Every structure is written in C-alpha cells, then in structure tokens.
Amino acid sequence: MSQLSSTTNVVQSANIPARLPWLALLALAMTGFICILTETIPAGLLPLIGKGLDITKAMAGQLVTLYAIGSLVAAIPFAMVTSGVRRRPLLLAIIAVFLIFNTITALSTSYALTLAARFFAGVAAGAAWGMIAGYARRMVPDALKGRALAVAMVGTPIALTFGVPIGTLLGDLIGWRAIFGLMSFLTLILIVWVLWKVPDYPGQPADQKLTVGQVFVLPGIRPILMVVFTWMLAHNILYTYIAPFLESSGLSERVDLVLLVFGLAALVSIWIVGLLIDRKLRLLVLLSLIGFSLVSVALWIGSSSASVVYAAVALWGLTFGGAATLLQTAQATASGEEGVDIIMPINTTVWNLAIAGGGIAGGALLELVGAQSFPGFLLILLLVALSIVWSAKRYGFPTKK
C-alpha cells in the first residue's frame, strides 16, 4: 500500500469514535429490517395477495422467489461495479430503490409488474447486504468492529420475530397493499435518518480493489464459506418446513408461537454475541454449532414431545441469532479491509444458495422419507461444519484473534 494510502487510513482512524455510534449503526440495522421485511412479508399475506391480483397462492408465492433471485444475481456484480462509489450516497440510492418498488407493489394491479417490482427490490437487498457489514466496521476502531456488526445486524431477527407476524395481522385489518405502503413510509423515515446520523466514507480506490477471485483464494475464506453453506442449509431445511415437522408433536397449529420462541431466543443470542465476539469468536462459533447439533439430536429423539420441541427450538434460536454476525466478522477479518466489500456480497450469494438449497433439499426429504428425517440430515451437515471450524485454527476461525 502506498504511503499516501497509509496516511489516509491513519487520518480516518483518528476520526473514528472510541465508542459505538449507536444511532448510525441502528440506521444500518433498520436497513436490514427493511430488507428482511420486504422479503418475507408476502409469505404471511399470500391469500390476500392472491385475491387482490386474481392469482393462485402458488403464483403469489413467486413474489418471494423473484425477490430471492434478484438478491442472488445482483450481490457480487453490484459490489464490483460500485466499490469505488462513496458509501452514503450509495446506501441512500439503495434505500430509494426499496421506496420505489415497494410503492409500485402497493399500487400495482398487474401480476407481471408486481413480479418485476419484487425482482428489483431483491436487487436492492442484494446490494444492501453486500455493504452493511463493511459500512458498520468502518465506523469504529478495531476493538469494537465485532460489536458494531452485531448492532447493525439486529434488524434481521427483529423483522423475523415481530415484523412478519405483526405485518400479517395488520394485513388482515388494513389490506396487503397498505402494508407495502407502510414499508414505503418506513423507508422515507430511514432516508432522513441516514442523512441525519450516518457518516459518509469514500469508496475503495482503484489501485486497492481486489477481484472476486483474489478474495476467494485468501487464506481462510473458503472454509468460512463452506461453514456458511452447511450451517445455513441445515437451518433453512428446518425453518422452511417447520410446520410439517411439528405435526408429530401436535404443534402444527402453533407455528406462530414456536417461531416466536425461536425469535426471542435469537435476540438474546445477538446480545450475547455482541458482548463477546471481539474476544471469543472461535469459541462462539464452536458452541453455536455444537448447540445446533444437540438440537438435532433432541428433535430426532423427542420430536413427538411438545416440551422437548419448545426447549430445542429455544436452543436453536440461541445458536442461530448471532450466526450472521459471527460469520461475517470471520470473513471480514480473513479478507482484510481491502477485501471486505467483496467478501460480503460473496457471502450474500452463498447464503441465498443455502436458502434455495434448504427449500429444495427439505422438500425432497419431505416427499421421499417424511419430515422426521430432518434431524438426522441436519446433524450430518452440522458435523461437517463443526469439523471445518475445528480444523481452521490458523485461518478462518483462528484460535487467537
């Protein structure tokens, strides 16, 4: 790195506060909240959307599919093209895309137009997930980077725990179009919030840019990505098909309560991870995977017991809530500051592949051998992830930070 670049980094570091910039980080968390809510809210509104657009529930379900496809195809190319763009204007542009296409979704009477709007909203999500982590880490000194990321990621479990159920309830009261209109209103508030409190940073200079290939071969990156895929594949098999899995315990009509338990435990997990991540990242990853493995064993043995299921789901939430923060922190450390804005969209791509894979693999298992086969398959995936983390003692998940 040139002397000029080093001097610039020193000046920037001198301007970084020694404590967490809470309002700025929470604005990033709100961005993640909007991403997740925009992605998942149609799942609870499928009957209403189907009726409103005069389509089947299966066709309405493609609103979720198109969003995921948009995120998947956009994350890496967008990061490569915009790596040199100043951060705050780029974030504001992404939020404005949510505003535009959620508004179109709220007003559209055309199924094709609605699908197109969902696709471009997904593109915005892929772009957002590619920059939130790096943005949060630039706001704080090294000793607080993990904690800052934990705060910036808190919007995800909040959206999953409260946003979707509340949105579904409100949808029944005021209509699904009003829900998307409400999300547009939230993005307007977020734009003002970002302008008010989120600092701006320059993009990455051209001579410091790393390619996807260069980042991918950095020591530790591939083991981390393998853990991302196996861990999230296991999670999404169970999460996507939780309703049929709960039938043997008689809880299939209480999916809302089961997921509430999961979400509340996930919030506790984020708090714990935020306190310890800057000192105990490897230990937290190992404990999370061991805990999820124990969940699989408990569900394998006691899936017919409601009390066992509730306890297992609570432990599952504790192991999952901080997963994104842990894995993204490991990636950012392994990639370095020059690679962080590239590794995050790679992570987004792998994460979305695991989500899609969970739907496909879980559906195949459900049809071929039944939902009670899930715990055994999960255990295999988690043991693979655990072995990778255990062996990545030097790079990826080092014994010492």
Lowest mean pLDDT among 198-212, 262-276, 289-303, 307-321: 198-212
| pLDDT score at 16 | 59
pTM to 2 decimal places: 0.80
Residue 125 and residue 399: Cα distance in Å, rounded?
33
Q: What is the pLDDT of residues 20-36, one digit of tens each?
A: 899 999 999 999 999 98
| pLDDT score at 8 | 41
Highest mean pLDDT among 3-7, 241-245, 262-266, 311-315: 311-315
Q: What is the pLDDT of residues 113-127, one digit of tens each?
A: 999 999 999 999 999
| pLDDT score at 116 | 96
Q: What is the pLDDT of residues 65-113, one digit of tens each?
A: 788 888 888 888 998 888 889 999 999 999 999 999 999 999 999 999 9
Q: Quick check: 10 pLDDT over 80?
A: no
Neighbours of 4 (CB within 10 A): 9
CA separation, residue 98 to residues 78, 94, 121, 123, 182 (Å): 16, 7, 6, 9, 12
Q: Are 159 and 263 in contact (CB under 8 A)?
A: no
Question: Which of 336, 62, 104 lies closest to 208, judged by CA?
Answer: 336
Q: Could you tell me what percent of the chain has a pLDDT over 90? A: 45
Question: Which of 226, 280, 219, 217 lies closest to 389, judged by CA?
Answer: 226
400: left (phi over 0), alpha (psi -120 to 50) or beta: beta
Q: What is the pLDDT of residues 148-195, one digit of tens each?
A: 888 898 888 788 777 767 777 788 889 999 999 999 999 999 999 999
| pLDDT score at 4 | 37
| pLDDT score at 208 | 66
Handedness of CA 42, 47, 48, 51 (dihedral sign): positive
| pLDDT score at 147 | 87
| pLDDT score at 180 | 95
Q: In order of start, what are the domains of the chain with their CATH numbers?
A: 17-208 (1.20.1250.20), 212-391 (1.20.1250.20)
Averaged confidence pLDDT in the chain: 87
* Residue 18 pLDDT class (50, 70, 90 cuts): low
Query: CA angle, 57 as apex, 56 and 61 as ends, to 5°?
Result: 120
Q: Are 324 and 153 in contact (CB under 8 A)?
A: yes
| pLDDT score at 7 | 38
Q: What is the pLDDT of residues 220-231, one digit of tens each?
A: 999 999 999 999
Average pLDDT estimate for 371-385:
95
| pLDDT score at 267 | 87
Q: Are 134 and 332 in contact (CB under 8 A)?
A: yes
* Phi, psi of 219, rounded to the nearest 5 degrees: -55, 130
| pLDDT score at 112 | 95
Instruction: Please write down the HEC assignment for all residues of the chain.
Output: CCHHHHHHHHHHHHCCCCCCCHHHHHHHHHHHHHHHHHHHHHHHCHHHHHHHHCCCHHHHHHHHHHHHHHHHHHHHHHHHHHCCCCHHHHHHHHHHHHHHHHHHHHHCCCHHHHHHHHHHHHHHHHHHHHHHHHHHHHCCCHHHHHHHHHHHCCHHHHHHHHHHHHHHHHHHHHCHHHHHHHHHHHHHHHHHHHHHHCCCCCCCCHHHCCCHHHHHCCCCHHHHHHHHHHHHHHHHHHHHCHHHHHHHHCCHHHHHHHHHHHHHHHHHHHHHHHHHHHHHHHHHHHHHHHHHHHHHHHHHHHCCCHHHHHHHHHHHHHHHCCHHHHHHHHHHHHHCCCCHHHHHHHHHHHHHHHHHHHHHHHHHHHHHCCHHHHHHHHHHHHHHHHHHHHHCCCCCCCCCC
Average pLDDT estimate for 58-71:
83
Q: What is the pLDDT of residues 332-372, one digit of tens each?
A: 889 887 787 788 888 888 988 888 788 788 888 888 998 89
| pLDDT score at 106 | 95
* Residue 15 pLDDT class (50, 70, 90 cuts): low
Lowest mean pLDDT among 150-154, 251-255, 262-266, 387-391: 251-255
More confident residue, 198 or 341: 198
Q: Quick check: 12 pLDDT over 80?
A: no
Question: Which of 82, 86, 122, 127 lies closest to 102, judged by CA?
Answer: 122
Question: Which of 42, 31, 21, 50 lies closest to 96, judged by CA?
Answer: 31
Q: Could you tell me what percent of the chain has a pLDDT over 70? A: 93
Handedness of CA 276, 278, 283, 288 (dihedral sign): positive
Lowest mean pLDDT among 209-213, 216-220, 334-338, 395-399: 209-213
